[in-house]
Structure 1
Amino acid sequence: MFNVYITKAGKYLPNEAVSNDEMEGILGMINDTASKARRIVLRNNGITSRYYAIKDGIITHNNAQLTHLAIEQLYDSRFTKNDVELLSCGTSSPDNLFPSHAAMVHGLMDNRSLELNSSSGVCCAGMNALKYGFLSVKSGNTSNAVCTGSERSSTWMLADKFNNEVINLKNLEEQPIIAFKKDFLRWMLSDGAGALLLENEPAGDISLKIEWMESFSYAHELEACMYAGGDKMDDGNIKPWQDYQAEEWLKQSVFAVKQDVKLLEKYVLKLGAKSTKIALDKHGVSDSDIDYLLPHVSSNFFATRLYDALLEEGIDLPNDKWFMNLSTVGNVGSASIYLMVEEIMASRKLKKGQKLLLIVPESGRFTYSIAYLTVC
């Protein structure tokens, strides 16, 4: 087995930062009516700026392009595009059902034949891509891996994606208001990509050794909380988009991203803290060993509650150990943890020997990924 190091990090955030007041002008008003949820959601999530792959009403990048632009930040005179042995990409918003997201990214790289892996899901898709690369380098299957997390959520959130549902509601003489489970996420998600280079030797001024990675799923106990491409039935099962009539796809906004907020609040923090406790105990790590916590939280609303949930499990990680950039880059789903790692590596805060704990929850059907890193 080989040691595995994050030797370089890259990111790409499209266009200029978008303020809270600019959001609805870009995403549009559904039924020409200002969202009643927007101010409430923004007040709770604490995000003040984010990035969209849309400018002046024009889509500027697809997901594969965002990912490729982040990967290009990894190249230098020591490591070029022709040195990549494995490309492992995670996203919840691929540009197409197939070919895979990784294949579409590889198609932009203009390098050589290499191994591909595509991880689907929601926020943990990026961590799953990272773990595939970690295990490949650790086992000696490859000597390096480029791992990515990326999202292009903005185009899912455009008002015109919901207009047919509004027309249908009017025809049924119902209130032409999109359900909160759909409108809520329009003010939460944004675009961007992060990339990490994994190698079996440290390089440069700072490298991060991946000590271990652990993942947990609770899908055997709980129904879906965040979903798209279907709708939840009364029994909790999701009816897939293929089982709807084609005209229903638009009438019911079947492809819209939806989230069951009640399920989210009840389980996401409790199970996240439980999973963290299991992972730390398995590897003999205590809270005093951790110098920085990098938690992916979708909203600052959950930050203090996460601290309390961890404390209930006997894990005390005070605020001065937390490193977050949610307020400035937004919730970028599977890319968020990559953007945090890139920013802390670039910040020059890190000292050799320090330990980082990464926690990524996924509310899709409640999955959690946790990683422990050492600064080298």
Structure 2
Amino acid sequence: MKDVYITRIAKFLPNEPIDNEQMEEKLGIINGKNSKARRIVLRNNQIKTRYYAIDADGNITHNNAQLTKEAIELLCDDTFTTKDIELLSCGTSSPDQILPSHASMVHGFLKNGNLEVNSPSGACCSGMNALKYGFLAIKAGQVSNAVCTGSERTSTWMKSDIFETEVEHLKELEDNPILAFNKEFLRWMLSDGSGAVLLESEPKGIALKIEWMEGYSYAFEMETCMYAGGDKLENGHLKPWSEYPAEEWANKSLFAMKQDVKLLGENILGKGVDSLKMAMNKHHITTADIDYYLPHISSYYFKENLYEELKGQGVEIPWEKWFMNLSKVGNVGAASIFVMLEELVSSGQLKKGDKILLHVPESARFSYSYAYLTVC
């Protein structure tokens, strides 16, 4: 089995950063009224700026595949071009269409010759699953390099016109809020962007060796928490869009991303630390073996609670080991861990032998992914 190294890393965040007061201008006002939930959500998540693939005139500047292509091209130079890529593995929560696959569309924009493509589905863990596919392919000797990405273009999913038809069909507005908090919650959380890494079987320059990767799912015992393309029924079952008449797709805003906030708050941290302990125990590491802890969290609301959960379950990680950039770039879903790692590498503070733990939760139906890296 071959060793696997991250030898290059890049990110692409579109256009200018958007502050909290510009958000509703970009995404639109629903039913002619400013959101009451926006300030509550922003106060809790403490995100100050984020990025949208929308220009100053409200025009869409990039789709998801184009955002991904931009990050990949930033990996390349005269010594390694897009034509040298042997495997392309691209994860996202927000593909531009159901078919063709996201990686196929990215490949179409790259126009770089024949290669293998892989498109893991899912939410935030899809980026880590894309990374793991490349990791295993190189480890098994199938390829000598792979480009793995995480990306999101959710701003257009959050624009007001997605919800307007549903608002028009609500009958008792006093008893039924204009937009359920579960649906509006994510409007003020998500950001657009992409990140990419080059994996190779030999270290070059400042490289990060991937020691191991692990993934865990709790779907066997947990109902759906975050979803798009369906509606959650009172019994917890997720009814897919394909089982609704076409006229109901807009009436129920079936393609909007939604979050069961109560289920999220009750379970996301406990399951996360439980799975973290399993990964650490399997690979015989302790918190003393971690120099940098990069947890992907959707909101700073969870930061203090995550620390307390870690402490409560006996795996306390001191604050000085934490590295996050949520407040500056927003929640970029599958791209977040790539964007976070790129900033850490670019900071110049890493030294040979440092150990980095990546921790990525996915609330869709409670999945968790981990990677443990060594600075070479």
The bucket for the TM-score relative to the shorter chain is: over 0.9
Within 5 Å, give how 1:195-344 maps onto structure 2: 195-204=196-205, 206-344=206-344
- Runs of 4+ with deviation above 4 angstroms: 170-176
**Corresponding residue number in structure 1 for 2:93:** 92
Within 5 Å, give how 1:160-199 maps onto structure 2: 160-170=161-171, 175=176, 177-199=178-200
Question: How far apart, in 2, do the equivalents of 1:57 and 1:32 lie?
Answer: 18
**Corresponding residue number in structure 2 for 1:126:** 127
Is the 1:166–1:176 Cα contact (8 Å) retained in structure 2? no
Within 5 Å, give how 1:10-21 maps onto structure 2: 10-21=10-21
**Corresponding residue number in structure 2 for 1:69:** 70
Paired letter, 2:63? N
**Corresponding residue number in structure 1 for 2:117:** 116
1:79 CA drift (Å)? 1.1
Decide whether aligned partners of structure 1 residues 374 and 247 sit closer, same or farther in structure 2, where only a CA change above 3 A counts.
same
Is the 1:170–1:176 Cα contact (8 Å) retained in structure 2? no
Is the 1:31–1:176 Cα contact (8 Å) retained in structure 2? no
Question: How far apart, in 2, do the equivalents of 1:11 and 1:268 lie?
Answer: 27
1:312 CA drift (Å)? 1.8
Question: How far apart, in 1, do the equivalents of 2:93 and 2:233 lie?
Answer: 22
Pairing 1:372–2:376 present: no
Gapped regions of structure 1 (runs ≥ 5): none
Residue deviations 1:148-182, cap 9 Å, x none?
00000000000011110111114888656110001
Question: How far apart, in 1, do the equivalents of 2:267 and 2:368 lie?
Answer: 12
Question: How far apart, in 1, do the equivalents of 2:104 and 2:150 lie?
Answer: 14
**Aligned partner of residue 119 in structure 1, secondary structure:** coil
**Aligned partner of residue 21 in structure 2, secondary structure:** helix
Question: How far apart, in 1, do the equivalents of 2:267 and 2:170 lie?
Answer: 32
Paired letter, 2:373? L
**Corresponding residue number in structure 2 for 1:51:** 51
**Corresponding residue number in structure 2 for 1:145:** 146
**Aligned partner of residue 145 in structure 1, secondary structure:** strand
Paired letter, 1:27? L
Give the fraction of aligned pairs with identical amino acids, expressed as a percent: 64
TM-score, with length taken from structure 1? 0.98
1:313 CA drift (Å)? 2.1
Give the total of aligned pairs. Answer: 375
1:370 CA drift (Å)? 0.7
Question: How far apart, in 2, do the equivalents of 1:339 and 1:208 lie?
Answer: 15
**Aligned partner of residue 162 in structure 1, secondary structure:** helix
**Aligned partner of residue 58 in structure 1, secondary structure:** coil
Question: How far apart, in 2, do the equivalents of 1:16 and 1:224 lie?
Answer: 34
Question: How far apart, in 1, do the equivalents of 2:262 and 2:176 lie?
Answer: 23
Residue deviations 1:14-41, cap 9 Å, x none?
0000000100011011001110110000
Question: How far apart, in 2, do the equivalents of 1:173 and 1:278 lie?
Answer: 47
Question: How far apart, in 2, do the equivalents of 1:175 and 1:215 lie?
Answer: 39
**Aligned partner of residue 97 in structure 1, secondary structure:** coil
Question: How far apart, in 2, do the equivalents of 1:314 and 1:6 lie?
Answer: 31
Decide whether aligned partners of structure 1 residues 366 and 176 sit closer, same or farther in structure 2, where only a CA change above 3 A counts.
closer
Residue deviations 1:204-236, cap 9 Å, x none?
2x1100000000000000100000100011221
Question: How far apart, in 2, do the equivalents of 1:337 and 1:118 lie?
Answer: 17
Question: How far apart, in 1, do the equivalents of 2:239 and 2:277 lie?
Answer: 35
**Aligned partner of residue 52 in structure 2, secondary structure:** coil
Residue deviations 1:104-130, cap 9 Å, x none?
000011211000100110100000000
Deviates more, 1:25-34 or 1:167-176: 167-176
**Aligned partner of residue 194 in structure 1, secondary structure:** strand
Is the 1:167–1:176 Cα contact (8 Å) retained in structure 2? no
RMSD: 1.1
Gapped regions of structure 2 (runs ≥ 5): none
Decide whether aligned partners of structure 1 residues 316 and 175 sit closer, same or farther in structure 2, where only a CA change above 3 A counts.
closer
Is the 1:290–1:357 Cα contact (8 Å) retained in structure 2? yes
Question: How far apart, in 2, do the equivalents of 1:153 and 1:232 lie?
Answer: 20
Question: How far apart, in 2, do the equivalents of 1:174 and 1:163 lie?
Answer: 18
Paired letter, 1:198? L
Question: How far apart, in 1, do the equivalents of 2:173 and 2:265 lie?
Answer: 32
Residue deviations 1:267-300, cap 9 Å, x none?
1000100111110011011101100000000000
**Aligned partner of residue 54 in structure 1, secondary structure:** coil
Residue deviations 1:328-354, cap 9 Å, x none?
000000000000111111110100000
Decide whether aligned partners of structure 1 residues 234 and 40 sit closer, same or farther in structure 2, where only a CA change above 3 A counts.
same
Question: How far apart, in 1, do the equivalents of 2:340 and 2:321 lie?
Answer: 14
Question: How far apart, in 2, do the equivalents of 1:228 and 1:258 lie?
Answer: 6
